[in-house]
Amino acid sequence: MNRVRFLKIAYILILFIVVSAVFIIAKETAFPDSLIFLAVVIIVCLIPGRITGYYFRDFYTARRLLSQKSFEKSVEHNRQFLQAYIEGKKV
């Protein structure tokens, strides 16, 4: 089993456990509190992907362009990412 397949399986298991825990907690709490709790859980689950997407946007764009064999554009986005890293603007 390679690393990517292991991480996908681990992600699905963790997601299943978290969703199960959320539904059990929501079932045990009062109705208005459960809606607030579910909203907070959904927001917290969405934050990590948004943070990396914001800070590493140029890096991910450069990787995608590199896989598409668009080398010059990839280098440009890598330079932008490294410049932001050196200046401390984003990372």
pLDDT of residue 26: 73
| Maximum C-alpha span of the chain | 57
pTM: 0.49
The full length of the chain comes to: 91
pLDDT, tens digit, 9 for 90 and up, residues 39-77: 777 777 777 777 777 888 899 999 999 999 999 999 999
What gap in Å lies between CA 80 and CA 72, rounded to an integer?
13
Cα(first)–Cα(last) distance of the chain, in Å? Answer: 33
